[in-house]
Chain A
Amino acid sequence: MSTVKTTTANQLQFANRKERSPWGDAWRALLKNRLAVASGIFIIILIFIAVFAKYIAPYPYDKGNLVDNYALPGPKYLLGADFLGRDILSRTIYGAQVSLAVGFVGAFVSLLIGMTYGLISGYSSTRVDNLMMRFVDFLYAMPILIFVILLQVYFKAVARTGVGGPFLQTLVAIDNKMGGMFFIFIAIGMLNWLGMARIMRGQVLSLKRKEFIEAARSIGASDMRIIFRHLFPNALGPCIVAETLAIPGYISTEAFLSFLGLGVNAPRPSWGIMISEGYVGLRSYPHLLLAPAVALTLTILAFNFLGDGLRDAFDPRLRGQ
């Protein structure tokens, strides 16, 4: 860092280093952060577990033995059994499927829409910016629960009548695979891009008056170049951090919906469902909560450390430190 005198100089120099792409630089920087690497590996393992749950879990998630209801951890059930005598370890393993899916689908949808929207809004004229932000205000004030119930009602009716053409039916089939949560993920993502858009816009507003942008403009860079070469990489950091923070948010939204009974269809497990099944019996059977809560905490921690690593890696001024 000491070799770079000013930000402007850094940016210009950075723009000239054609032989090394910024993403490649970020990647190399990321690999130097051990905790971020460990978190990344953890998340990859988790994805692996979710995908191959069928082969890893000792029992099927819906197979229970009523007599073993609320069984304590022991040789038969390593982490105990739930109210129907179903193995908690197996259900936690299967639960990763839904919880990870919520996180990724929600994050993808909201990053995509939110960053684009915020970038355009922040970069546009005040009038357009104002209009676009009022639309965000409008969506902010919409009650999410009404949408969730409506989506559930609508798609379940579609699923049962079999109308709506092959496209809708494909979506419905995906929804079935995900325990009736697919449309809810989409809804969650669609309602969470708002925060992303505001953060992106705030970044852009603040950045676009900076010297290096003005410098770039003065040497005749096009809007597109300014946006993608300068604004985007610089604004990405806070957005990625916010998104890694938002992923736990989606996972907790899933838990909240489960608490209201609007979660995945039984008997499919998710960590949210398992927590909302267990919290009432916290004092009698804490083992019901332990596995899903620990899994949830570790996953969220991993996303955060990975997010930090990414942020540092994407910040060009940090490289080579």
Chain B
Amino acid sequence: MLSKKWALLLAAVIVTSLILAACAPATPQVVEKVVKETVVVEKEKTVAVEKEVVVTPTPKPEEELITLNWNFGTEPPTLDPALAEDTTSVDVIESLFLGLTAFDPEGNVKGELATEWTTNEAGDVYTFKMRQDAKWVKYNPGTKQVEEIGPVTAHDVVYGIKRTLDPRTASGYAYVLYIIKGGEALNTADTEALSEEELQALIDGVGVKAVDDYTVEITLEHPAGYFPGIAGMWVARPMPKDAIEAHGERWIEPGFIVTNGPYMLAEWVHDSHLVLLKNPLYYDAANVQIEKIYGVMVVEASTAMAMYENNELDTTAPPLEDMDRIKADPVLSKELHIGPYPCTYYYGFTTDKPPVDNKLVRRALSAAIDRKSLIENVLKGGQLPANTFTTIGMFGSAAQDPDIAPWALDYTLGLQKAKEWMAEAGYPDGKGFPEIILMHNTSEGHKKIAEAIAAMWKEALGISVKIENQEWKVYLNTISKKTPVEQMPHVWRLGWCADYPDANNWLNEVFHPDKRNDIRWNNREFAEIVEKAEVSQDPAERKALYKRAEQILVDEEAAIAPIYYYTTVNLTKPWLQRNYFGLGGQDFFNWKIDWAAKKAALGK
């Protein structure tokens, strides 16, 4: 019965698409509506009736589509929102799956699937009202058609969150959702020891429920003002239950994947490229201008740079070795854009290892880093010198506040202070100071910074520094709390990037003595401040608390030496209008291309 309908439908589609191709209208056309009976035989034995729409998304010939040539930089390890842990995957997921909330290009939380949200008085129950025009779609690469699967509902949100938290899913980022009531209990459950019923009880116990088809209620373990930001994270997104259950691990391959975002996955040649096509059924499709994204996976920065210059990419992050040439080039210099990126580069001290167990030594080392010179001469990417850990743009950031470590921003002052402190610590001009080990993970960029800073220390303080590097995973293990102190390097590098734009994600999650705390630091005053700030509902009070915490961390105790706030350095062709904000993936759907200009440049 079904196949006959399909045959009819196909015929209709082919005929229509031929006609459509002939008159080539700019907007996608809905071809036919069919009512299909889908019998879902589940435990509840319900019979769902769905509306189905099949659409030819792109009546234009392929080469006429407004196309963005993008470099993902690497193969995305997954496109499954529950499993993604890295920026490349998130960049793609951002185009494929909608969240309850999203960040706008300025970094503010706004509604995406959620039209509005409210909290209860205590601040621990959030109710999200969802829009009703978001749809699940499936792109068929064989027929090049789009199939509408059904509306995106509150049940999909509930399924998505519970799927991420289910220990059998083994999601690396599941812990982000531990703030949801019962989330941690479910995710840490020992599935082998539990019966089916007990596990189900834990799943049911997660504080997320569909009040009706378009209203989600999420109960938290404790009040958290930053929760709307988390509610939009990829691990909390609605996920397509039927597709996941039908195809298992392979559900994210083209032809299987069911998505609801502004783009659909049309092609994925692993390690080579993937193609995203505009979703004609996306509720805001009228405002999505770019119709096709051809995303390559070029790892080598110099190759990507050559592709950009050859008009094979519309935008790229240039290697720093080419920065001087770009700045001097009349064309490239106009195409250069430097913007903030929510990460901080820092050196951590092993605070229980002599001689850096002495806070005077740590302060001296931090102050003797000429951050401005490092940025101008080595990094060349317009980075900003850092005097705090929490970067610019985060709630509670005190970046560039002169009350905190002013010597980090002014090297003349820093040099003078550094010498004083070293002398005070008993090592005037570095006399009697043992050789210290500065370690970085193997990478050309980190090596350059380490060599530059080691030379600064040698010059300013008269101390000798041995630079070592280790392969990434070895390195992360070395600098962890487990390593015996005698095997620790004295100083080591790390970076930290925002998961959500709040100082809690920085100061509390990284340096609280009971949390990661690679610096082996046990400052109770700091701990109390960040604990208090986490639960406080008063924005002014939270800001003040975080400022005080930074003062202790960076200035008074100098447990870390923040070095610079990252920037995103990009070259963009004049025909592309894009955003550069780095939180939560690339927003291709907001970008615009002057197609006539691009075609002219390509010589077509």
Contacts and interface: CB of A to CB of B under 8 A. Distances in A.
Contacts of B373: 66-67
A154 B437 CA distance: 17
Contacts of A62: 451, 455
Interface string B315-355: 00001011011000000000000000000000000000000
Interface residues of B, number: 33
Contacts of A66: 370, 373-374, 377-378, 452, 455
B310 interface: no
Interface in B356-413: 370, 373-374, 377-378
A160 B487 contact: yes
B529 interface: no
Interface stretch (A22-30, A130-138, A273-281, A299-307): A273-281
Interface string B463-495: 000111111001000000000101100000000
Contacts of B474: 149, 152-153
Contacts of A281: 302, 319, 321-322
Contact of B455 (A84, A156, A262, A280): A84
B378 A84 contact: yes
Given A152-B471, A261-B469, A266 B378 contact: no
Contact of B448 (A67, A83, A160, A282): A83
A54 B325 CA distance: 34
Contacts of B370: 66
B450 interface: yes
Contacts of B321: 83, 280-281, 284-285
A67 B484 CA distance: 40
A219 interface: no
Contact of B450 (A64, A260, A266, A279): A266
A260 to B, nearest CB: 7
Contacts of B454: 267
Given A149-B474, A261-B471, A266-B467, 19 more contacts: A63-B455, A64-B451, A64-B452, A66-B452, A67-B377, A70-B324, A83-B448, A84-B377, A85-B377, A160-B437, A261-B442, A265-B466, A266-B469, A267-B451, A267-B454, A267-B455, A276-B444, A283-B302, A284-B324
A161 B487 contact: yes
Contacts of B469: 261, 265-266
Interface string A236-280: 000000000000000000000000111001110000000011011
Q: Which of A67, A83, A180, A265 has the most CB of B within 10 A?
A: A83
B301 interface: yes
A138 B484 CA distance: 37
Contacts of A41: none
Contacts of A139: none
A169 interface: no
A64 B319 CA distance: 22
Contacts of B455: 62-64, 66, 84, 267
A257 B522 CA distance: 39
14 contacts: A62-B451, A64-B452, A66-B373, A66-B452, A84-B378, A85-B377, A149-B474, A156-B468, A261-B444, A261-B447, A266-B469, A280-B319, A280-B322, A281-B302
A84 B451 contact: yes
A260 B447 CA distance: 12
B188 interface: no
A161 B319 contact: no
Contacts of B523: none
Contacts of A67: 373, 377
Contacts of B169: none
B443 interface: yes
Contacts of A174: none
A96 B448 CA distance: 21
Given A84-B378, A261-B442, A265-B468, A282 B302 contact: yes
A67 B228 CA distance: 47
A180 B439 CA distance: 14
Nearest to A69: B377
Contacts of B437: 160
A284 B443 contact: no
Q: Which of A84, A276, A284, A285 has the most CB of B within 10 A?
A: A284
A262 B373 CA distance: 28
B482 to A, nearest CB: 13
A294 interface: no
B302 A279 contact: yes
B452 A149 contact: no
A281 B319 CA distance: 8
Given A261-B442, A283-B322, A160 B486 contact: yes
Interface residues of A, number: 33
A38 interface: no
Nearest to A153: B474
Contacts of A153: 470-471, 474
Interface of A: 62-64, 66-67, 69-70, 83-85, 149, 152-153, 156-157, 160-161, 180, 260-262, 265-267, 276-277, 279-285
Interface string B542-560: 0000000000000000000
A283 B467 contact: no
Q: Nearest 3 pairs between A and B by C-beta? A: A281-B321, A261-B442, A284-B325
Contacts of A69: 377-378
Contacts of A84: 377-378, 448, 451-452, 455
A110 to B, nearest CB: 25
B540 to A, nearest CB: 42
A234 B73 CA distance: 53
Contacts of B467: 265-267
Contacts of A157: 487
Contacts of B301: 280
Contact of B471 (A262, A277, A282): A262
A311 to B, nearest CB: 39
Contacts of B374: 66
A156 B470 contact: yes
Contacts of A267: 451, 454-455, 467
Contacts of A279: 302
B488 to A, nearest CB: 8
A260 B442 contact: yes
Given A260-B442, A280-B319, A283-B325, A152 B377 contact: no
B443 A261 contact: yes
A157 B487 CA distance: 7
A69 to B, nearest CB: 5
B371 to A, nearest CB: 12
Nearest to A67: B377
Contacts of A260: 442
